[in-house]
Amino acid sequence: MAVTTTPVDDGVIDGFGEGLHGELLRPDDPNYDDARAIWNGMIDRYPALIVRAMGVSDVIAAVTFAREQELVLAVRGGGHNIAGNAVCDDGLMLDLSAMRSVRVDPAEQTARVEPGATLADVDQETQAFGLATPLGINSTTGIAGLTLGGGFGWITRKYGMTVDNLRSVDVVTADGELRHASEAEHPDLFWGIRGGGGNFGVVTAFEFDLHEVGPEVLAGMVVYHGADAPEVLRHVRDFNETAPDESTVWMVLRKAPPLPFLPERVHGEDVVVVVPFYAGDIADGEAVLAPVREYGEPIADTVGPVQYAAFQQAFDPLLTEGARNYWKSHNFSAISDDAIDTIVDYARDLPTPLSEIFFGQLGGAMGRVPADATAFPHRDAAYGMNVHTRWEDPAMDDECIAWSREFFDAMAPYATGGVYVNFISEDEGEENLAYGENQDRLAEIKAAYDPENLFRMNQNVEPAR
């Protein structure tokens, strides 16, 4: 175990811990290792102190203590962030995972959500009223990190991004003050929070608009042999160009996992998984999605009426915690034939059976929001690509990372030059691609609310000088 140190006197730490409603952990505490573990198995860091907050007062106390004692501060929501910024070496880790309440107002169609909640927590409560807000595709993802980076999923084309449905936040800023930010109060801070990551403070409550979705939707998977990939990808691309906002069709290239609806003979073989989703009347969806389902000779077709909350968890078994992960990302305004040829070539050479390449269809309502309306700038993206490189053996680190970077470089000529901030694995200058044309304004807001860059364990925006 790594040695963790802090320049803070033990007596001062003891006094700090006594004032908390939650728990203060140090390296010799029995729950310390569990508390510092996060989703990406590559991240192995040892904070000197872990605060397991129970409420806003604990958040204020932790932020103030870290600032006054000049400690590195890491903030954990769901702990799902690929880069591992939820945990630091030697400093203070603020763990919000116990703050996970979701309060729905069905009459106003809003939800107030605490920062430790996961997507599954939100879906559980909102779907009790047949309501939802656009979220991601893995239910164990934390609502805080997803939202702060932008947030997109199955109903984004119909209802916009997660940040487009954010009404307000309560946020503890670097000075230890709790502020309410919305279009009417601290609008500059509210603008920056909607896509600027964790740069501006610790959000202790999110208020979302909700929409009528489900409880039953039309969704599922159509699986093809990998040899059919060039034709399948072109067909889906062409279908998507004129599809209505209610329709969302994603494409995934990977080795066939041992799922019960796939014949055992194809397990481990190259496959293309087409994932259609329809956010509307199921009968209408059957007609709209028919050209996707009727194409070619699929191995399996699971598309049908399904509970929305259940489909939100459909990919959880492929994204379990503990594996080693390294991701790369691009945005695309279109997918050319040459881009498809490159995709197929690299998909044949995936470094591990756990790895996959996915293309999430975007556009629709998301694309009709001006690029400067929120900190999230990439409104021109018709697709977001994520390379999920996953493996278990640490000896494969160099090989898997090198493959990911090579594929990223090979796809760059076809991409917009932007990336999704939540898909960045490490600090390689990609934060400049993530914030794009909004970078300068973000730096000015950072200077106003966090001039000393206390919140720097993120895809960091340095304060304007």
**Pair 378, 418: CB distance under 8 Å:** yes
**Domain-embedded: residue 86:** yes
- Mean pLDDT across the stretch 385-395? 94
Shared domain for 293 and 379, answered yes or no, is yes
Within 10 A of 17 (CB to CB), how many other CB atoms are there? 17
DSSP class of residue 108 equals T
pLDDT at position 3 is: 56
Shared domain for 238 and 289, answered yes or no, is yes
Residue-averaged pLDDT of the chain: 94
pLDDT at position 425 is: 81
Shared domain for 270 and 361, answered yes or no, is yes
Shared domain for 175 and 120, answered yes or no, is yes
**Pair 99, 115: CB distance under 8 Å:** yes
**Domain-embedded: residue 464:** no
What confidence category does residue 427 fall into, taking pLDDT thresholds of 50, 70 and 90?
Answer: low
Shared domain for 240 and 345, answered yes or no, is yes
- Mean pLDDT across the stretch 239-261? 95
- Element (DSSP H or E) covering residue 192: helix 187-193
**Amino acid identity, residue 221?**
M
DSSP β-bridge partners for residue 24? 51
Shared domain for 160 and 30, answered yes or no, is no
DSSP β-bridge partners for residue 250? 275
Query: At 254, is the secondary structure helix, strand, or coil?
Result: strand
- Element (DSSP H or E) covering residue 126: helix 119-126
- The total domain count for the chain is 3
Q: Which of 136, 138, 137 is nearest to 150 (CA)?
A: 136
What confidence category does residue 191 fall into, taking pLDDT thresholds of 50, 70 and 90?
Answer: very high
Decide: residue 221, CB within 10 A, 0-12 exposed, 13-18 middle, 19+ buried: buried
**Pair 202, 115: CB distance under 8 Å:** yes
Q: What is the rounded CA–CA span in Å between residue 108 and residue 106?
A: 6
Q: What is the pLDDT of residues 153-187, one digit of tens each?
A: 999 999 999 999 999 999 999 999 999 999 999 99
Name residue, tokens 């200058």: 429
**Domain-embedded: residue 196:** yes
Whether 4 has a pLDDT exceeding 70, the answer reads no
- Mean pLDDT across the stretch 17-38? 94
Shared domain for 55 and 138, answered yes or no, is no
Q: What is the rounded CA–CA span in Å between residue 186 and residue 294?
A: 51
Query: At 293, is the secondary structure helix, strand, or coil?
Result: helix
Kindly give the residue spans of alpha helices, DSSP state H, lying in 215-261.
Answer: 229-241
Write down which residue in 65, 95, 125 finishes a domain.
95
Whether 144 has a pLDDT exceeding 70, the answer reads yes
Q: Domain of 60? A: 10-95
Question: What tokens does 49 get?
Answer: 């102190």
Q: What is the pLDDT of residues 264-306, one digit of tens each?
A: 999 999 999 999 999 999 999 999 999 999 999 999 999 999 9
**Pair 354, 391: CB distance under 8 Å:** yes
Cis peptide upstream of residue 27 (ω within 30 degrees of 0): no
**Domain-embedded: residue 318:** yes
DSSP β-bridge partners for residue 180? 170
Shared domain for 292 and 401, answered yes or no, is yes
Within 10 A of 209 (CB to CB), how many other CB atoms are there? 17
Task: Provide the sign of the torsion angle of the four alpha carbons 119, 357, 245, 277, taken in this order.
Answer: negative
Q: What is the pTM of this model?
A: 0.94
Name residue, tokens 């493959």: 403
